[in-house]
């Protein structure tokens, strides 16, 4: 059904472009996008790989930072009061504005792009992991205490497993945001990637290629999201998943 809907959309788009003779530098027809994008398959694939790498690295860093950060946030009210405003600050900073400054600080490498991706993606992840860790029913905590659990075993055996569905809802939000973050970073500083491709091809009025890159980015977002969903289904089959839970 979703495939039928999307095919129909492309069909209407194609027909509209031809019927109203819309100039291709404003809105190109899907067929033109296809021809132009697949003209240099190796080139486009390489740009896609570069962006995917930034997205995945930023996503991974988000997860690696968010887990301990969420544990820290929920460990005591004092720590939460100290750390939480800093977290909000990182979200208040406009990432597009921060990106060029980061390039100055960190150099024109992959690093500032990964940092921007991470900054865009990690916040909802921290929040959902933290809310998972604190929403363990008090009776489960009592059970742990009755079984002589210490703080560490309580975290490892009760709180973290309980938080798994929350962690995944955060991961689903984070992977979508990581794509956004990577493209923003590429706009500011890069010599490769789909964000870079969009920027350079629009500069040279190769609008079809820019549209092609945009469509590839959308597909990338969907595929990565579905991979996260699949990992949850396969490794945590007891998790209620997206159907029972709000993101």
Partner 1 sequence: MSAYVIEIQNVSKHFVSRDRDRVAALIDVSVSIRRNEFVCLVGPSGCGKSTLLRLVGGLLPVSQGRVMIDGRPVLEPRAETGIVFQSPTLLPWASVLDNVLFPLKMMKRIAPDSPGRARSLLKLVGLEDFEGKYPRELSGGMQMRTGICRALVHDPDILLMDEPFSSLDALTREELTLELMRIWREQPKTVLFVTHSILESVMLADRVVVLSPRPGRIAEIVPVDVPRPRQFGMEALDEFQRAAGRIRELIFGAGRDTVH
Residues that bind partner 1 (CB under 8 A): 137, 139-140, 142-149, 153, 157-158, 161-162, 164, 236, 238-239
Residue 229 CB, shortest distance to partner 1, in Å, is 18
Residue 162 CB, shortest distance to partner 1, in Å, is 8
Indicate the SS3 state at residue 240: coil
Q: What angle do CA 145, 147, 152 make, to 5 degrees?
A: 65
For CA atoms 103, 104, 105, 109, give the dihedral sign: positive
Closest CB to partner 1 among residues 108, 142: 142
Closest CB to partner 1 among residues 35, 245: 245
Closest CB to partner 1 among residues 43, 153: 153
**Are 144 and 154 contacting, i.e. CB atoms less than 8 angstroms apart?**
yes
Closest CB to partner 1 among residues 139, 191: 139
Closest CB to partner 1 among residues 45, 143: 143
Indicate the SS3 state at residue 221: helix
Helix 194-203 to helix 41-75 angle, to the nearest 10 degrees? 130
**Are 46 and 213 contacting, i.e. CB atoms less than 8 angstroms apart?**
no
Q: What angle do CA 107, 177, 55 make, to 5 degrees?
A: 50
How far apart, in whole angstroms, are the C-alpha atoms of residue 234 and residue 174? Answer: 20
**Are 207 and 24 contacting, i.e. CB atoms less than 8 angstroms apart?**
yes
Please count the CA atoms within 13 angstroms of the CA of 217 that sit on its side-chain side.
Answer: 26
Residue 161 CB, shortest distance to partner 1, in Å, is 5
Residue 67 CB, shortest distance to partner 1, in Å, is 17
Q: Alpha carbon of 140 to those of 53, 148, 200: distances in Å?
A: 40, 12, 56
Indicate the SS3 state at residue 204: coil
Q: Which helix (H) or strand (E) holds 49?
A: helix 41-75
Residue 122 CB, shortest distance to partner 1, in Å, is 25
Closest CB to partner 1 among residues 169, 239: 239
Closest CB to partner 1 among residues 144, 212: 144
Residue 140 CB, shortest distance to partner 1, in Å, is 6
Residue 200 CB, shortest distance to partner 1, in Å, is 48
């Amino acid at each position: 059904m979703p495939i039928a809907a999307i095919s129909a959309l492309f069909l209407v788009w194609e027909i509209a472009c031809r019927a109203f003779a819309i100039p291709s530098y404003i809105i190109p027809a899907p067929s033109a996008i296809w021809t132009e994008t697949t003209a240099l398959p190796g080139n486009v694939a390489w740009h896609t790989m570069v962006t995917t790498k930034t997205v995945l690295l930023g996503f991974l860093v988000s997860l690696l930072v968010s887990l301990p950060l969420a544990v820290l946030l929920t460990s005591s009210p004092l720590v939460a009061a100290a750390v939480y405003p800093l977290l909000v600050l990182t979200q208040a900073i406009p990432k597009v504005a921060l990106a060029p400054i980061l390039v100055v600080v960190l150099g024109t490498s992959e690093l500032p792009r990964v940092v921007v991706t991470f900054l865009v993606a990690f916040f909802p992840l921290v929040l959902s992991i933290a809310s998972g860790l604190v929403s363990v029913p008090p009776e489960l905590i009592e059970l742990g205490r009755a079984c002589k659990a210490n703080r560490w075993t309580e975290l490892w055996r009760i709180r973290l497993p309980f938080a798994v569905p929350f962690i995944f809802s955060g991961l689903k939000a984070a992977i979508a945001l990581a794509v956004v973050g990577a493209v923003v970073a590429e706009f500011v500083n890069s010599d490769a990637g789909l964000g870079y491709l969009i920027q350079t091809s629009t500069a040279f009025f190769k609008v079809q290629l820019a549209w092609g890159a945009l469509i590839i980015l959308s597909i990338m977002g969907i595929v990565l999201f579905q991979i996260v969903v699949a990992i949850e289904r396969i490794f945590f089959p007891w998790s209620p998943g997206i159907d029972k839970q709000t993101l």
